[in-house]
Amino acid sequence: MSTTNPSAMRVTAPAKINLHLRVGPPTADGFHPLSSWMVTVGLFDNLEFTLTDTPGVRLTSDDPALPTDASNLVVKTATGLLDAANLAASTGVDITLHKRIPSGAGLGGGSSDGAFTLLALNQLLQLNWSPDRLATLASRYGSDLAFFCHGPSSICTGRGEIVHPIAPPCAKYAILILPPIHMPTPAVYKRFDQLLPSELGTRNSELSPPDYATWPTLTAQELLPKLINDLEPPAFSLSEPLADLHARATKILDARIVRMSGSGSTLFTLYDTRDEAETNADRLRLTLGVNVQPVELAPNRGAK
């Protein structure tokens, strides 16, 4: 976060990937319990905040497809914070969002924008609320928001709102494969339930965490075989192009393990060094014909 004006601030909001994602059967309220290792990556949206004396939250964006009304998580979280701090009647905020994280890609861009809105306004308004207090407020607006209030590497359980920070992975870089495919999360979960009914009775026991204490010490080659995403089969069954892209990427990388983030459509693999990531990103980019980006794992907050 950076600012030179006490009433204004600029923030970079990182994307995330789910290195590991196990999904349990839906509970009585219809939500699926999760166990996931989430890590931020070096792909950022940019947010600018200016406090005003005119009450209300006003959002503009350079993405014409993005709603900027009360349905946007940035507006929701900013409004929620002003209400919770009893400032809604006296304080307003103008927000500009420069969108770089693709939507519907399993990268949590909207959740990151919402969470970093809380972090920025907490600092700008000098509220001095703790990350736990901000995360509790954030969890009202979506399961992934609490992670971004803690980050950059955490085990998330429950619906994703119970966050336990851990060391980032020893592998320092990932390749993100970013196809122009939008995967609606509700549809993927619905397909998950349809594909795996016989397994749902045993999946709660499978959500007990692995030995996460040792996983961050593993090299990329050691860690990749341990990673699972239970949403890959339903996502691939819903999108043949995504399944084909996964198969092609795996082949190009000489059978290296390629995983999907969240409910898709982003695919990724891990490397220990920048040179490895950049070299193999070039191989994929030339052959796949889609956006491929090498990124740092768990970058420092505020990094551009």
Q: What is the pLDDT of residues 45-87, one digit of tens each?
A: 999 999 999 999 999 999 999 999 999 999 999 999 999 999 9
Q: Are strands 92-98 and 56-61 parallel, antiparallel or unpaired?
A: parallel
What pLDDT, on the 0 to 100 scale, is given for residue 236? Answer: 96
CATH code for the domain defined by 173-296 = 3.30.70.890
Query: Do 290 and 178 meet the contact criterion of CB atoms below 8 Å apart?
Result: yes
Q: What is the pLDDT of residues 123-179, one digit of tens each?
A: 999 999 999 999 999 999 998 999 999 989 999 999 999 999 999 999 999 999 999
What pLDDT, on the 0 to 100 scale, is given for residue 296? Answer: 97
Which residue out of 113, 144, 172, 230 is catalytically annotated? 144
Please list the residue range(s) of the chain that carry CATH number 3.30.70.890. 173-296
DSSP 175: E
Q: Which residues on neighbouring strands pair with residue 297, listed in sequence order?
A: 41
Sequence-distant (≥ 6) Cβ neighbours of residue 80 within 8 angstroms: 137, 140, 141
pTM of the predicted protein model: 0.92
CATH code for the domain defined by 8-165 = 3.30.230.10
Nearest to 38 by CA among 147, 125, 199, 185: 147
Q: SS3 of 185, please?
A: helix
Q: Is 244 a catalytic residue?
A: no
Query: Do 77 and 145 meet the contact criterion of CB atoms below 8 Å apart?
Result: yes
Mean pLDDT (whole number) for 244-271: 98
Which residue out of 16, 76, 99, 172 is catalytically annotated? 16
Region of 128 on the Ramachandran plot (φ > 0 left; ψ -120 to 50 alpha; else beta): left
End-to-end alpha carbon distance in the chain:
10
Q: Is 190 a catalytic residue?
A: no
